Amino acid sequence: MIDPEYEQKLERELRHIHTQMLRLDARDDLAMARAYQNAEAAEERMVSYRNEHGEDALFTALRENPDQFGAYPDDKAQFDDAYQARKQLPVVFAEYRRLRDEADIIKTQLKRIRRERDEPAREDENLPRR
């Protein structure tokens, strides 16, 4: 029998991860706005790059060559801030991926628990009926 407390613990962990992912989304939006003159166009280039080359390649590109996704803001006074924001992008990306993968594992565990709880045990299927 599955411990209901364990299922509740997994649900709490999943909610906590979801909250962290929302915070990372907000951090990413802020970093993108600071890092690029046109954050929306830069994001579109990143999505296209990811679709063509994969997530690992996008992470590497963000770390090694973020300039390929867009120009710095026009205001030269913002250059240092934009440079630092570009350095944050791969960190946020990696953390988001880690949390997403962790959430996927928990979701799989919860599905298994619920399936086992809702289906009869295999031993019961082979018992003679009266």
Instruction: Kindly tell me the sign of the dihedral angle through the C-alpha atoms of 22, 28, 34, 36.
Output: negative
For residues 18 and 110, give the distance between their C-alpha atoms in angstroms, rounded to a whole number.
15
pLDDT at 120: 56
pLDDT at 116: 85
* Confidence (pTM): 0.82
pLDDT category, 126, cuts 50, 70, 90? very low
- CA atoms within 13 Å, Cβ hemisphere of 30: 10
Query: Packing angle between helix 55-64 and helix 39-53, nearest 10 degrees?
Result: 130
Q: Residue 60 carries which side chain, given as an amino acid letter?
A: T
Please state the rounded mean pLDDT for residues 54-72.
97
For residues 99 and 67, give the distance between their C-alpha atoms in angstroms, rounded to a whole number.
26
